[in-house]
Amino acid sequence: MATKTRLLVGRSARKHRAIIKAARTTFLAKGYDDTSVDEIAAIAAVSKPTIYKHFGDKVGLFGATIATAIAEAKSHTQATIEALPATRNLEGDLRRFARQHLAEVMQPHLLRMRRRLIAEAERFPQLAATWYRNGPEKGHETLAAVFSALAARGLLQIDDALVAAEQFNWLVLQARPRPGSRPGRGHLPCCLWIQEPRNSGRLCIRRPVLSETRVTLETSS
């Protein structure tokens, strides 16, 4: 009985993944309006009722596709960010995280997914809100907790951990890969404004002064 149950659960999970994969391909290629549940069912090799059983309706499937894309992107940098509070090389590990983060969010399918979401934001504001809450907002909160832990160790000097996390994130995302290079490879562009320490130093992230944002490595005397 237990073996049969596991087989059924495994089969259901495989169908779920197949549907999400087919939905992502179709939504990205055609947009929401021109995508039909019948087409997704055919690509995923499942019945139309199976899709409704798993996701409720087309809107639910679109939302699940977006949520899955967010979860996949976060999973690739999770280990790096979880290790940051115990770092022994703060600048190096922050740079490594920044490169990984930039490489993940610049993946073509994620860029296309965001464009589709923006195009449908007025009709489905709850999906846009869910994306922001589970994507940028959650990411800022996670990074703020890491910065707070680093500040407690005396490695960071910050006025507001959440503001610092938001500034760091958007500075990274404003970076532009060099011509001919792939995101995440080579040097991180200089928009991070990180100065090399002459001796020992502490990373200082301060509030912006008017339109100026500073992320500098302040040396100790």
Structural domain includes residue 208: no
Region of 56 please: left (phi>0), alpha (psi -120 to 50) or beta: left
Q: In terms of residue numbers, what domain contains 131?
A: 57-155
Judge whether residue 206 has pLDDT over 80.
no
**What pTM was estimated for this model as a whole?**
0.67
Return d(Cα 37, Cα 26) in angstroms, integer.
10
Structural domain includes residue 18: no
Structural domain includes residue 69: yes
Give the pLDDT mean for 126-155. 88
Contact 215, 91 (CB under 8 A): no
Structural domain includes residue 43: no
Judge whether residue 208 has pLDDT over 50.
no
Return d(Cα 62, Cα 44) in angstroms, integer.
15
Strands ordered across the beta sheet of 156-158: 156-158, 201-205, 215-219
Structural domain includes residue 170: no
Return d(Cα 81, Cα 77) in angstroms, integer.
6
Structural domain includes residue 183: no
> Of residues 77 and 89, which shows the higher confidence score?
89
Judge whether residue 194 has pLDDT over 80.
no
Give the pLDDT mean for 153-166. 88
- pLDDT, tens only, 44-83: 999 999 999 999 999 899 989 988 888 887 777 888 889 9
Give the pLDDT mean for 15-31. 92
Give the pLDDT mean for 120-138. 84
pLDDT of residue 52: 94
Q: Per the structure, how many domains does the chain have? A: 1
Question: At which residue do the structure tokens 């339109």 appear?
Answer: 211
Structural domain includes residue 133: yes
